[in-house]
Amino acid sequence: MSEIISSGAWLPLAFAGLMGLSMLIYAVLDGYDLGVGILMRRADDAEQDMMVASIGPFWDANETWLVLGVGLLLVAFPAAHGVILGHLYLPTAFMLIGLILRGVSFDFRAKVKTGHKHFWNNAFFAGSLIMALAQGYMLGYYILGFQEGWGAFVFSGLVGVCMAAGYALIGACWLIMKTEGPLQIKAILWARQASWATIAGIILVSAATPLVSTRIFDKWFEFPNILFLAPIPLVTGALVCGLEWVLRSLPKDKDRRAWVPFAMTVGIYVLCFIGLAYSFYPFIVPDQLTITEAASGHDSLLIILAGALVVVPAILGYTAFSYYIFRGKAGELRYD
């Protein structure tokens, strides 16, 4: 252990962990506000204003974690950055289009005449859906190791649809926690509907990941690995079943457990992330580049680490502070 520390071999692993943590936090935080955007079309005008109010203080800052994750990929793993974004340039372009559309729509809906607000609400929905589909497609394509062909295209597209459903699920759970009355009741129904497609996506990815790589298959199903790893799918299944039970009981619960569906969905996200991380470790580009091979030089990583030790706590602190300040139920949307 002392040799690993003195040699600096821990640095690539530390940055891989930091990058993975950034992407997980992004998936949870921006996931729920993308989900709220995807659900906008299913609400009336007053409910849409309340939905926007529930994410208004957070949505823009949530995307900081995506910038951090991609930035770490660029500076700490430049070789992997070139390979990954080289294969994913088209869905990345669509994701950026969706990001721009969301930002423009969010501001314009507050400034246009009432008769034009509907257009920008639809644009916010479209931008959110485009981003979700693009991110899911990128995940599916990455899982397949950037294989080409119609089979890879269809699989990646299906993962994109299921990713959008997963974001709709966590977005609906966010609305359950942050709203009251008829909108909360609708959000419970939306969460139950989205959960089925989310479960399908988890099953699809869980089945495909070991099948595309004998290395991953062996990591999961060789004895005794299968015994140590069994808690991951078992706890995930328990959370899925528990989520369905809680959603069924919420309308009768008088809001006492409105936070539970969101917490359980976050737990599902975390367990799925752990499963994927275990599957692909030690590779950062599936079966092509390991974390160590793709990493920058030792001195470069030390300089980057100095910056990360300042930036990451600052982002964490700001995020925690903003969620503390705007805790509780969302209020009436005001721009004065």
Residue 159 inside a domain? The answer is: yes
The three-class DSSP label of residue 285 is strand
Domain ranges, residue 288: 12-325
pLDDT tens-digit map of 147-194:
888 888 899 999 999 999 999 999 999 999 999 889 999 999 999 999
Residue 332 lies in a domain: no
Helix/strand/coil for 109: coil
pLDDT at 210 (0 to 100): 85
Distances (CA, A) of 256 to 64, 264, 267: 32, 15, 19
Does residue 150 sit within a domain?
yes
Domain count, the chain: 1
> Do 163 and 135 form a contact (C-beta atoms < 8 A)?
yes
Averaged pLDDT of the chain: 88
pLDDT exceeds cutoff 90 at 27: yes
Q: What is the pLDDT of residues 59-98, one digit of tens each?
A: 888 888 998 999 999 999 999 998 998 899 999 999 999 9
CA dist 336 and 314 (Å) reads: 29
- Rounded Cα gap, residues 132 and 95, in angstroms: 8
**Residue 7 counted as domain residue:** no
Q: Which of 274, 283, 149 is nearest to 206 (CA)?
A: 274
Indicate if the pLDDT at residue 134 is higher than 90.
yes
Give the integer Cα–Cα distance in Å for 28 and 145: 24
Residue 5 within any structural domain of the chain: no
Is 334 within a domain? no
Residue 267 lies in a domain: yes
Would you call 307 helix, strand, or coil by DSSP? helix
The whole-model pTM stands at 0.92
What number is the average pLDDT over the span 264-271? Answer: 95
Q: For residue 331, tell me if it sits in a domain.
A: no
Cα separation, 120 vs 104, whole angstroms: 8
